[in-house]
Structure 1
Amino acid sequence: MATGTLAIDLNADLGEGFGRWELTDDEALLAVVTSANVACGFHAGDPSTMRRVCALAAARGVRIGAQVSYRDLAGFGRRPMEVPPRELADEVAYQIGALRVFAQAAGADLAYVKPHGALYNRIAWDETQADAVVDGILLSGGDLPVLGLPGSAVHRSAAAARLAAVAEAFADRAYRKDGTLVPRTEPGAVLHDPGQVVERSVTIATRGEVTTVSGERIAVQAASLCLHGDTPGAVELARRVREALIRAGVTVEPFA
């Protein structure tokens, strides 16, 4: 990121369809974001979708990240699962390897890894599962940064393995006072007011803070801001967020 200026990366979950079923407007979102978290087939996505999104991202100069997940296609990767660490590491490596083929075929490569859904939330606190995810990244042969919650178990594991840990924030998710996300199973976990999401995006980028679900203001580190692509009006909201950031003097660019 640019030195001496406010800057932030915008990432979105893309390629989250399967076969004839499409969930995200990948092409439109790729005109807004700077990093694309591409589903690798375990919670969504299929080979042709992965190839298409990688080609579109590469053509636009958008960084490609592997969005790895528990093997939970029916539950969209949002159901808690108990997976033995060795098996989880193998599955993470498998997903990264699959996406890397399509990224490289498009003339690019993978730039980072971002876990999805229930896995993302689990490795915020579970050291064993976090270590397994990092083991999978190392097994894949890539020195890839890990995008996740600041202070999370997976960031500690990544740092121990000398992988870059990139702090991420969410403008449309409710926070607890300990800096973790309110689970989607609880009321109010997702913010639906576009104006509130836009305002929170600017506050995160310019002031490094967020208001929790219980009303406290807490500090948040954010090299990257997640814009969910699977919500109604996602593309227009993403555009509004980007425009508001630029008006506030924030440079929108990939994280270093």
Structure 2
Amino acid sequence: MAAQTTLDLNCDMGESYGAWKMGNDEAVLGYVSSANIACGFHGGDPSTLRKTVAAAIKQGVAIGAHPGFQDLAGFGRRNMHISPQEAYDITVYQVAAVAGVARSQGGRLHHVKAHGAFYNMAAKDAKLARAMAQAVRDLDSDLIFYGLAGSAMIQQAQALGLRVASEVFGDRSYQPDGTLTPRTQPDAMITEVSKSVEQILRMVREKVVIATDGTRVPVQPDTLCIHGDQPNAVVFAEGIRKALQDAGISVRTV
């Protein structure tokens, strides 16, 4: 197997709204190749969306829609039991908004990546994943569908003929089934850059991640996520970018 020489580095951003400020998006944009921009349901607002899209275009970063549950108070991280039809509808609504804003700023939507609980639920629920992927295909079949490596999202998007990017995480721990450790557990987040880099390089070189119980879980690292809402997001982005460069891995969008 040939060594992997490129990796897409994506970041969730555009999640500020009103007087509430989240993250340092402009600084992080200097280190990533793809941006997943909030659509107003879990975070973000029209002005933030426009500014973030414009900043991404200026930096040459690929624009992605980041649809989530309509839950500003819970930042989209609380499970909501919705039907596949509702999942389809909220995906269409949010993705179309980002696509329209991108067009207004002279850019084009590149990909779609769900947020928070919407993402985690669809990773396990094939019907939810199918509805989400169907919404993306019906809007624009050329869009790339980002989803958790090895999950129902990737399987359902591929079944519909969408181009996919299997996503891995450098700042999150994993469960033996390949899902992310719930944030309610104390070991969910990786807060040290060195430990994050160790996990990332293993995923790229060996195509595995070590779960919390020591299990070696197979992964396909097409794109790596950095969470823009964590306090040290810029430090993480800078450290990971340098580590990848030192390892001979170029950061490039999928």
TM-score (ref. length: structure 2): 0.95
Where does residue 138 of structure 1 map in the other structure?
137
Deviation at 1:144, TM superposition (A): 1.5
SS at structure 1 position matched to 2:212: coil
> Given the two structures, how large is their TM-score scaled by the length of structure 1?
0.94
Distance 1:154 1:5, change over 3 A: closer
* CA contact 2:12–2:38 (8 Å) conserved in 1: yes
What per-residue deviation string (whole Å, max 9, x for no partner) do you get for residues 168-193 of structure 1? Answer: 10011111122111111222111112
More off after superposition, 207-216 vs 236-245: 207-216
Cα distance in 1 for partners of 2:8, 2:140 equals: 25
Which residue pairs with 1:103 in the alignment? 102
What code does the residue aligned with 1:216 have?
T
TM alignment of 1:23-34, pairs within 5 A: 23-34=22-33
Q: Secondary structure at the match of 2:8?
A: strand
How many Å apart are 1:4 and its aligned residue?
7.1
Q: Aligned-pair distance for 1:68?
A: 0.7
Q: In the alignment, is residue 77 of structure 1 matched against residue 65 of structure 2?
A: no
Instruction: Say if 1:7 and 1:205, in contact at 8 Å, map to a contact too.
Output: no
Counterpart in 2 of 1:114? Answer: 113
Equivalent pair of 1:205/1:250 in contact (CA under 8 Å): no
Residues 26-73 of structure 1, C-alpha deviations (whole Å, 9 max, x = no match): 100100000000000010000000000000101111000100111111
Once the two structures are superposed, residues 187-210 of structure 1 have per-residue CA deviations (whole angstroms, 9 ceiling, x without a partner) of 211111222112222222233222
The aligned runs of 1:21-170 (5 Å cut-off) are: 21-170=20-169
Q: Is the 8 A contact 1:168 1:222 kept in 2?
A: yes
Give the aligned residue type for 1:226: C
- Map 1:191-210 → 2, pairs under 5 A: 191-210=190-209
How far apart, CA to CA, are the structure 2 residues paired with 1:172 and 1:123?
A: 20
Q: Which residue of 2 aligns with 1:237?
A: 236
CA distance in 2, matches of 1:31, 1:231: 17
The count of corresponding residues between Structure 1 and Structure 2 is: 253
Amino acid at match of 2:217: I
Residue 253 of structure 1 deviates from its aligned partner by 0.6
Q: Which moved more, 1:238-247 or 1:135-144?
A: 135-144
Q: State the percentage of identical aligned residues.
A: 43
Structure 1 vs Structure 2 CA RMSD: 1.5
Gaps of 5+ in 1: none
Taking a change above 3 Å as real, the CA distance of residues 185 and 4 of structure 1, as seen in their structure-2 partners, is: closer
Match of 1:211 in 2: 210
Note closer, same or farther for the CA distance 1:165–1:85 as it changes in structure 2 (3 Å cut).
Answer: same
Residue identity matched to 1:9: D
Give how far 1:238 is off: 0.7
Distance 1:189 1:5 in 2: 27
Q: Is the 8 A contact 1:113 1:144 kept in 2?
A: yes
Describe the shift of the 1:241–1:60 C-alpha distance in structure 2 as closer, same or farther (beyond 3 A): same
Distance 2:89 2:34 in 1: 25
Instruction: Tell me how far 1:88 sits from its aligned partner.
Output: 1.8
